[in-house]
Amino acid sequence: MAKNNNHKKPTATVVFIFGGSGDLNQRKLTPALYNLFIDEFMPDNFAIIGTGRTDYSDEKFRGHLLQGIKEFSRRKDDKNATWESFQQHISYLRMDADKPEDYNGIAKIIEDREKAWGEHPNVLFYLAVAPQLVPDIATNLKKLKLCKDKNNTRIVVEKPFGHDLQSAKELNSLLTGLFEENQIYRIDHYLGKETVQNILALRFANALFEPIWNCNYIDHVQITAAETVGVEDRGGYYEQAGALRDMVQNHILQVLCMIAMEAPVSFEANEIRNKKSDVLNAIRKINKHEVQKYAVRGQYGSGWMQGKKEKAYREEKGVNPESSTDTFAAVKFYIDNWRWQGVPFYVRTGKHLMEKTTLITIQFKEAPKYAFPTEASETWRANRLTISIQPEMDIRLRFQAKRPGQTMSLNPVDMVFSYNDNYDEPQPEAYETLLLDAMMGNATQFMRGDQVEIAWEVVAPILETWESRPPVDFPNYAPGSWGPEDAEALIARDGRTWVTLPPKKDRKES
């Protein structure tokens, strides 16, 4: 068990999970809270209340959550004794989110807790619900007296945050009309990933990288977020989303901000968020007439993947058989500021691709070869820093080395830092980090309203163009491939190629 030696615990907290009986709570939220409990990050006084319309007794609800822990938690082998004491903090409140009178139950629970604990608790309302329910719930919550407590009452809103710029603006204006910005936690789980957080350490805790982290030395940047799964049972949601909305507008642009932002002067929430907003603001808006030049969409057809026959997207449950929804998106962005002038950022994401991998590549410019004999430079490669976010968690720096022998012959080698080889402690899941931050009132790794809106502005020309011009070639990639051919062309036109990790068997020593 990892001991909590240097971390403050939140003070007494009540967490309400709207959508308590849903998937997100069973797979992610309760397992995360349970791991925080095991690692001694939960306060002495805390309560977790699931709310929803399903009729659960406390006991049945706890059983449902335990099932989730057994199936989905990173720790499956914990002693029953830990669960026994954890579950006493969990209860269920049956309520109709659209009935204002049902919210009295919430007020009552908080009053009771306050009396029993003798202290005023933090209250976290976690909205793990369909986006259309958010406005009603937020409006009803606001009527509770406790929501006026700006310092201790917070609302966590899951993605998707809006469907486009207009709806995101409306949602922001509704939420900021009800709560202060510092009470609103817009979650993007990528920001809680250990390897994503490490980007700040890599860039700003080392003197090595920052001086060359700019357009003078960097040729281009790539971000790949590839998944092997298809849309699974989320066809209904995905039809309204597509890859660009589901992954690029949020996760990928947030990661891009971490790579491209200026050095912060502190880790204070608004300082970090200002620096990220600067990046988003500097991303060149793609002209609608040029979308084809900068963006590629794809949709998977049917085919064989790892020995299994996979359905085409259009055959998935909840999907229109003539759907134009993108299950793959690749975009070339430019950031118009001094640091990044002229450096393309290529990003791509998709379902049913060859490998599950999230990978960032910083490709440096080539060093001049003049001093070396021609044959020495046959395998000349530019330096490259590859940051694997998942499932591998490593950073590899590629540089040229001399092959042993009497001739000057070079070849590229990797210097590898791997989390697993360096640390024994297990990595916390993103939701553990983010829930703890939300309980502590630290919004650094959450998105501010303006960031979400600018991110929508960035993708808007692509979304609008795609919507107005239905694709003629869908489905255009096979499951198990790296997406449509046009995505290769997008980068090949610039004389570059997408980077993947070396084959698994060669990874350590490549």
Active-site annotation, residues: 251
Cα dihedral across residues 401, 403, 406, 409: positive or negative: negative
Cα(295)–Cα(80) distance, integer angstroms: 51
Residue whose CB is less far from ligand BG6, 131 or 344: 131
Nearer to ligand BG6 among residue 35 and residue 91 (C-beta): 35
Provide the 10 A C-beta neighbour count for residue 59: 12
Q: At its nearest, how many Å lie between ligand BG6 and the CB of residue 159?
A: 6
What is the chain's alpha carbon radius of gyration, rounded to the nearest angstrom?
A: 24
Please list, in sequence order, all residues whose beta carbon lies within 8 angstroms of the beta carbon of residue 172, skipping any fewer than 6 positions away: 162, 449, 452, 453
Residue window 164-203: x/- pattern of binding to ligand BG6, with contact defined by CB under 6 A: ----------------------------------------
Distances (CA, A) of 443 to 48, 130, 235, 267, 359: 21, 23, 32, 10, 25
Q: How many residues bind ligand BG6 (CB under 6 A)?
A: 4
Per the annotation, does 193 bind a ligand? yes
Write the Ramachandran bin of 406: left for phi over 0, alpha for psi from -120 to 50, otherwise beta.
alpha
Looking at beta carbons only, is 246 or 316 nearer to ligand BG6?
246
Scan residues 298-357 and list those touching ligand BG6 (CB under 6 A): none
Give me the helix-helix angle, 134-142 and 165-178, nearest 10°: 10
x-or-dash pattern for ligand BG6, window 237-276, by CB under 6 A? ---------x------------------------------
Binders of ligand BG6 among residues 147 to 166 (CB under 6 A) are 159
How far CA 496 is from CA of 36, 174, 238, 298, 491, in Å, comes to: 44, 45, 31, 20, 5
The verdict on whether residue 508 carries a ligand-binding annotation is: no
Query: Which residues 6+ apart lie within 8 Å of 274 measured at CB?
Result: none
Q: What is the DSSP letter of 315?
A: G
Q: Does 432 bind ligand BG6 (CB under 6 A)?
A: no
Which amino acid does the sequence have at 390? Answer: Q
Question: For the residues of 86-97, what is the DSSP string, one character each?
Answer: HHTTEEEEE--T
Quote the tokens at residue 216. Answer: 């003078």
Of 88-107, binders to ligand BG6 (CB under 6 A) are none
Residue nearest ligand BG6, CB atom distance: 246
Q: By CB under 6 A, what part of segment 346-375 binds ligand BG6?
A: 358
Distance CA 226, CA 237 (A): 19
Instruction: Give phi and psi for 122, each to the nearest 5.
Output: -70, 145
Cβ 430 to ligand BG6, closest distance in Å?
7
227 annotated to a ligand binding site: yes
Cβ distance to ligand BG6 smaller for residue 293 or 356:
356
356 is in an annotated binding site: yes
Using CB atoms within 10 A of its CB, is residue 35 exposed (0-12), middle (13-18) or buried (19+)? buried
User: Does 159 carry a binding-site annotation?
Assistant: yes
* Closer residue to ligand BG6, CB minimum distance, 124 or 353: 353
7 is in an annotated binding site: no
Instruction: Tell me the closest approach of the beta carbon of residue 369 to ligand BG6, in angstroms.
Output: 39
β-pairing, 184-186 vs 153-157, is parallel
Q: How far is the CB of 358 from ligand BG6 (least distance, A)?
A: 6
**Strand pairing report for 394-402 and 410-418:** antiparallel
Task: Report if residue 227 touches ligand BG6, rule: CB under 6 A.
Answer: yes
Q: How far is the CB of 108 from ligand BG6 (least distance, A)?
A: 34
Q: Which is nearer to ligand BG6, 71 or 494 (CB)?
A: 71
Instruction: CB nearer to ligand BG6: give 310 or 414.
Output: 310
Q: How far apart, in whole angstroms, are the C-alpha atoms of residue 278 and residue 437?
A: 23
Give the footprint of ligand BG6 on this chain (CB under 6 A).
159, 227, 246, 358
* Residues of the binding site: 53, 159, 189, 193, 227, 246, 351, 356
* Residues of the binding site for substrate: 189, 193, 227, 246, 351, 356
* Residues of the binding site for NADP(+): 53, 159
